[in-house]
């Protein structure tokens, strides 16, 4: 046992030096977690950017032409022009 103390001391020293690398503040595990959170945020940002582009196009349509306004009024509000007849076809519940 007396002859092995330098080896045990060296192993303990290596373990003490490795602890901050793996588990300490700014260590590998914390960096991995930050990278995972960053990737999740990038995915969310990409989805939100696509939604923003679609909304921006919709706003542009609504500002520049009456076709988009008319379409929305017909679809969302069920409005009809004078002289038109509104016809609603019931949906079948059969699969």
Chain segment 5-25, per-residue pLDDT in tens: 888 888 888 877 777 777 777
How many Å apart are CA 90 and CA 88, to the nearest integer? 6
How many Å apart are CA 9 and CA 7, to the nearest integer? 5
Chain segment 37-60, per-residue pLDDT in tens: 999 999 999 999 999 999 999 888
Q: What is the pTM of this model?
A: 0.52
As a whole number of Å, the CA-based R_g of the chain is 32
Domain ranges of the chain: 34-79
């Amino acid at each position: 046992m007396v002859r092995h103390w330098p080896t045990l001391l060296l192993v303990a020293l290596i373990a003490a030096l490795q602890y901050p690398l793996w588990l300490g503040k700014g260590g590998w595990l914390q960096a991995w977690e930050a990278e995972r959170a960053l990737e999740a945020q990038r995915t969310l940002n990409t989805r939100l950017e696509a939604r923003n582009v679609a909304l921006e196009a919709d706003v542009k349509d609504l500002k520049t032409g009456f076709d988009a306004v008319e379409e929305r009024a017909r679809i969302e509000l069920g409005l009809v022009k004078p002289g038109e007849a509104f016809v609603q076809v019931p949906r079948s519940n059969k699969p």
